[in-house]
Structure formats: structure tokens, C-alpha cells
Structure 1
Amino acid sequence: FADHDTRERFVDSVQALTLEWENIPVELCQWLEQRRPLRPSSAVLRTLQDRLTQKQFLSSCSIPVPDFAEVQSVHQLHHAIKRLGLPLICKTAKSGYDGKGQWLIRQPSEIPQFEQILSTPSFGVRWIAEQVVTFVRELSVLVVRSGNGETRVYPVVENRHEQGILRDSVAPASISSGDAEAACELSVRAVAELQGVGIFCIELFQAQDGRLLINEIAPRPHNSGHYTLDACTVSQFEQQVRVTCGLPLGEVRLLSPAVMVNLLGDEVTVMMSGEGGRETFSTPGASVHLYGKRVIRPGRKMGHVTFTAPEREIAVASAQQFLSRVQNSPSAVPSPS
């Protein structure tokens, strides 16, 4: 990232730039956008790549988020616990994904372990503490926004996680039309407040009392949007190319209900071997996407399978049967606990 000659060669080879990962140095993005169009901008990246800064920004715009507090010392931790209560989830402000960089404090006996982390000078990491939300479901919305403020919004998706890793996504979500409209409006507002240009995934909690809270915003295509490759007129990836190149935004239309299932770790081997592969490829509406990763690790996303069907219930049933098959196979390796 810091080598000047590499930067120059790279920028000479492109006409426009975008992001596929939010942990790029902001300084590099500032340097790049002085030479080529970068969407989203370095200013948007600076806000979103730091969870604490992101939550502070959204809160300042009166956009609902889970209650949170900055934690950089034992004193701040105790203050956060007093104000937010337990259980409390502590996350690194930067980096971390798929459950990594998170520490859940369920009860007082678990506080000293995290105090030790905060008291280690060499650790040097900022943390954000968040109140654990009792939610009915986890949702996400893809928002595409052009340089002139034009937007496209994909259907609200319902997500299910296992051990912090996205397991599957169902489109459309099983929520009322009013809740779907509210989720879309909140997501569009958040991206507009950022003055974001690009494609964004807004992850939300629907709390037990009906409130919608923004958990996190990713300034890029998202795992929960992979279903758009098979179930929409224009995928999230094509939209990213369009908005990056200043082309007209594409139509957003769901062609059929869909369920996207991640292939985690050795599940890809189970799915592709013998009868497992034959059953998958013979399932109506099943589309297999393999990522070509050479190293298999427990919990690593190795690909995904999208199931489309005329009715949501049929797609869900096909996905559940597939998951049961790959998870219960004798050769399957359990995900990390």
C-alpha cells in the first residue's frame, strides 16, 4: 500500500476506482482520488471503516443505532457496563469480520478477562461497547446511489448467522410491507447523510418492540447480496460497475424469491463430492458459485449456493434440505465454536 512506484503503476492502469474491502488505508484512497474518480470517497471510507466513528456519525444524524460507548480503558469499560448493562458486546473499532475482533461479556465474572486486554499496553486497539439487542430478525438492504443522488434500493433481505458468520439470506424478508418500506427509507437516508456514491449494504436489527436499528454499513457489495446474481435483473456487482463508471443505474427487480446459502469450510468438499454434488446440481433453481480458494479452513467462506423458486417457501425448503445434507454428512467438519 505504501510503495510509491506500485501506486503509480496501479493508477496508470485504471480509469476509475471502487472498493471491495473497507480496510484500505484512508491515506491511500485520498492519494488515489486526487488522480482518478473513487467511489465511494475516502471521506465516506474514513467514517465507515471505524465502527465507533460510524456509530457516532449515525447517532449525530438521529439515525437509530444500538446504544454504544467508547471503551479505551478499564474506567470507560465500567462506565459502559453501568450505563448499558450486561450482556455487552465489545468490538474492535477497526478490522474484524465474521465474528472476529469481538468479545461478549455475559456476566460479571467475565469482566476481568476483558479488563486484562484493555490493560495490555501493547494491544493498542480502540474498542466500541454495544448493548446487546434482543432482536426478532436481522435484516439487510442494498442501496445504490449515484453522483447526482439518484438511488436504487434492493428488496429487504432476512439474514441468519451462526457464530458470527452469515449462514444464509432470504429474499424477500418475511416482514410486513410497512416494515420493509421503513427499512428501505432508513437505509436510503443513512447513505444520503453520508453523501455516499457507490453501493452500500445496510445491516439492521428489528427489535422485539418493532424498532429498526442500524447495526453496520458496508461501503461495497455484500455477502447478503450475492443472491442478486441469480434472482435480480441487475446484480449488485453490475451496479457497482455502473456507479463507478458514471453509467445509468440498473433496474432493481426481484425475478423470484431466493435463498443464498454460504458454503463454509469443508462443506464445499461435501457438496461437490459424489451424490452430494449430483443432488445439488439436480435441484431445480439451484445455482452453485465456487470462489476458487485453495485453502479450506473451518468457517471460511468457500462459495455459495442460491436457490430460486416461484414461491418463497419452496426456495426456503430447498435451502434447508441442502444445509441438512452438507452439515450432517459424515465427512463434514464442524464450524469453529
Structure 2
Amino acid sequence: MSITLPGPTLGVVGGGQLGRMMGEAVARLGVEVVVLDPTPDCPAAPVVSDQIVGDFDDADAIRELASRVDALTFEIVLADPDLLAEAAAEHDVPVHPDPDTLRTIQDKLVQKEALVDAGIPVPEFVAVATAEGLERVVEEFGGVMLKAREGGYDGRGNVPVRDPADAAAALDEVGGNAMAEELLDFEREIAVMGLKGADGETRTYPVTETVHREEILRESVAPARADDAVVAEAEAVARDVLDVLDGRGVFGIELFETRDGNVLVNEIAPRPHNSGHWTIEGARTSQFENHVRAVLGWPLGPTDLVAPAVTANVLGDVEETQSATLSGVDDVLAAPAADLHWYGKDDVRPLRKMGHLTATAGGDDPDAAADRDALLSRARDLRDGLTFRAE
């Protein structure tokens, strides 16, 4: 392949914060980005070339997108794999990751079954469709995480169930078609951003520790505060996962480290992931740039750690939906080795992801042992000084 600039035009289904950060990452490479999103003036709109306003299952809008670009990708798992495949074939443009991979990932039960078939370790799970069935599973497992098979993300569609008496209400909450997974008493949650490029090349970013509360990611710590053996196992499992998935791009692979040091796959996202936002400042090439490079078939960038980094999500701290005005920004901007990212959303609602900040460790040696506890504390302090509440 001979690459020339200006570069090609990339079409992205979804114009949220991930699309925005893709656009920011590749503008300097001469890549034009067109997004499709149902929200007029979506978060990505100010930083990309153009937006097509349309639903993710709008066949005409997806065909229009395909007609205007040199390659297609998606930043949201709600994209329609059948429409993507049809539009890509009609206009002879590649789409990555493969729509078949998206189709597998969209159904959590099918996703887990594919992993089991490949011999990849996962928590115990079972499909459930009735309250009676769920009651039996809760008793058998001693508690489960009930997950909507389709449509749930960012903690939505996940309900912990520890008492069989709560089965009916929990099943109603997730919509009835669900998967029950054993409720693990894990040591920590970790993640690997995996990368697949042209000719089957694979790379991984350093293993990241992810800190959740109320099923929502709050902070990411890179590299993870885990033993070397766990890190090595997580990297090996992530590479096995990449072998199962078709197509090019970044894959967010969420994992559990169990109390006895084993690594189990939780879920996979076939796109850049919140767990990898630290790569913008903390890695040689960000997950967003590498995703676009991979989709276009360009050489992949290095995934090496530049400096230990902690990302803290900026979430809506309001009681109800209101116009978004963030206060306390001065302290973050004045802090050394801290970077703030604003997602450009007009309205804030409780626990909505509105931005993030990343604190990086100083020093000339990125391999030197950094006090990640102190780095995490610094990131939290800076984040907690931000608010959407009126003073």
C-alpha cells in the first residue's frame, strides 16, 4: 500500500464522544471523518468534516454514508450489522470490524457462547427467560448478574440479583430476554485494548485496571496494579479473544481477575472503549488513532506505555436533566500533568458521561515504578472538584 495525503474519508456510524475523539486523533493525519448520528449537532460534529443526521437503523442514511467514504466503521454497538454489510457491498467500501463480529457481540449470550467454543475462560452463565428459571439459577449460583442480552451498555441492562424473591422484578427491568452470569467475588476488574490490523497483525496495549461503581466505570489505572503473572495471563487471554473476532480495529476486552489469580472474560466491545481513554496521553499511539489506522489498512502505531496514567470519568452529578455547564475547570487546567477532555454534550443528566481527565506520572523513565495509588488519588481529587451543580 502506498499512502498519500490528504488521506481517505472515513465513515463512522455514531457521533458520540468516541466518534469525537476519533476525529480529533486523525485530523492531523489528513483523514476526513463523516459521522452518522440521530442527534443533530452531535458531540462529534464540531471536530469532524460532516454529519449525516439519521437513526442507526436508517437504511437510506447508511447508504448515503457509504456512498461518501472510502471505509466504514462504527463507534456504537447499536449499529445495524446487516445494513452496514449491505451498504458496504453496494458501494464497494470495506467495513471494519466485520459486521459478523458486531452481530456476535450485540447478543451477550451469543458472545459468551462463541468464547466458550473457542476455549476462552468466562464466568458461568445461562440463558433465562422466566422468573421461575431465574429463581433456580440464583439459588444454584448463590447470586447472579442479570444482563439484557441486547441493547445494554455502560451499566444499563445489568442488574445484580442475590435473592430469588427479586427475580421477577429484575427480569422485568432488563426486558425479559436475558443472560444470568455468576456473581463473582473478584479481586479486581481489568481490561486490555486489543488491536487487529492488516494481514492479521495483532497488538495489545498494557493491561489496565478498571474501577467501577454502580456498574459504571469511574477510573482506569494503567498499568494495572496486578501481579506479573496476572498481567501475562490477561494479555494471553486477550490475544485469544482477538483470534475469535473478524475484522480490523480496536477491541475493548473487559476481564475479571479472580481471587485465585485466574482471568475470565467479562464482555467485549468491537470499538475503542472507555477503558482505553488513557492511551491519548499515556501511550505512544492512542486507541483512536490506531483504530482508524487499522480500519484503513494503514501500519499500526506503537502501543507502548509512555507514562503511567489514570483516567477519571466526569459524570453528571445532578438530580435531573439540565443544560450542561461545568465548573471547577480552572484547577484542572492549572494542575501539572493533567489533561481534560470535554465531550460536547449539551445536556447533563445523572451519571451521564460528560468528559474525562487523565493524570500522568512525571519523570524521564516510563518503566520506573510509579506510585499509582497516589496518581489515582490525584485524578480523583481533580475530578471531584468539577461539578455541574449551580453554586
- Give the TM-score taking structure 1 as reference length: 0.88
User: What is the deviation of 1:75?
Assistant: 4.2
Match of 1:162 in 2: 213
- Among candidates 198, 220, 231, match of residue 249 of structure 2: 198
Which stretch shifts more, 68-77 or 184-193? 68-77
Q: Which one of the candidate residues 230, 234, 238 is aligned to 1:179?
A: 230
Q: Is the 8 A contact 1:68 1:128 kept in 2?
A: yes
Residue matched to 1:242: 293
Kindly tell me: are residues 286 and 312 of structure 1, through their superposed partners in 2, closer, same or farther at Cα, counting changes over 3 Å?
farther
Higher relative contact order (CA 8 A, sep 6+): 1
Deviations 1:245-283 (A, max 9, x none): 11011111111100001001149x99953xx33322221
Change in CA separation of 1:289 and 1:316 when aligned onto 2, cut-off 3 Å: farther
Indicate conservation of the 8 Å contact 1:48/1:218, yes or no: yes
Q: Deviations over 1:255-314 (max 9, x none)?
A: 1100001001149x99953xx333222211000111111101110111110000136655
Residues 107, 59 of structure 1: alpha-carbon distance in 2 compared, 3 angstrom cutoff: same
User: What is the CA–CA distance in structure 2 between the aligned matches of 1:209 and 1:238, rounded to whole Å?
Assistant: 36
Q: Does 1:52 align with 2:109?
A: yes
5+ residue gaps, structure 1: none
2:31 corresponding residue in structure 1: none
Number of the residue aligned with 1:150: 201
Are 1:228 and 2:279 counterparts? yes
Residues 1:316 and 1:292: Cα distance change in structure 2 (over 3 Å): farther
Q: Is the 8 A contact 1:258 1:312 kept in 2?
A: no
The answer as to whether partners of 1:307 and 1:315 remain within 8 angstroms in 2 is: no
CA RMSD in angstroms comes to 2.5
Change (3 A) 1:277 1:9: closer
Residue number in structure 2 paired with 1:305: 357
Gap change, CA 1:24 and 1:125, over 3 Å in 2: farther
> Partners of 1:107 and 1:71 in 2: how far apart?
16
The letter for the 1-side match of 2:244 is: E
Match of 1:101 among 157, 163, 173: 157
* Percent identity for Structure 1 against Structure 2: 37
How many corresponding residue pairs? 324
Structure 1 stretch 306-315 or stretch 139-148: which is displaced more? 306-315
CA distance in 1: counterparts of 2:250 and 2:78, whole angstroms? 16
Per-residue CA deviations over 1:35-76 (Å, capped at 9, x if unaligned) read 310111111111111100000110111111010000112343
Residue 25 (structure 1) aligns with: 80
CA distance in 1, matches of 2:386, 2:58: 47
Gaps of 5+ in 2: 1-55, 363-367
> Cα 1:4–1:196, aligned 2, differ >3 Å: closer, same or farther?
closer
1:100 Cα deviation from its structure 2 partner: 1.2
User: Are 1:77 and 2:128 matched, yes or no?
Assistant: no
Give the match for residue 180 of structure 2. Answer: 129
Secondary structure at 2:147's aligned position in 1? strand
Q: 1:11 aligns with which of 66, 86, 99?
A: 66
The answer as to 2:90 corresponding to 1:90 is: no
Q: Give 1:259's aligned residue.
A: 310
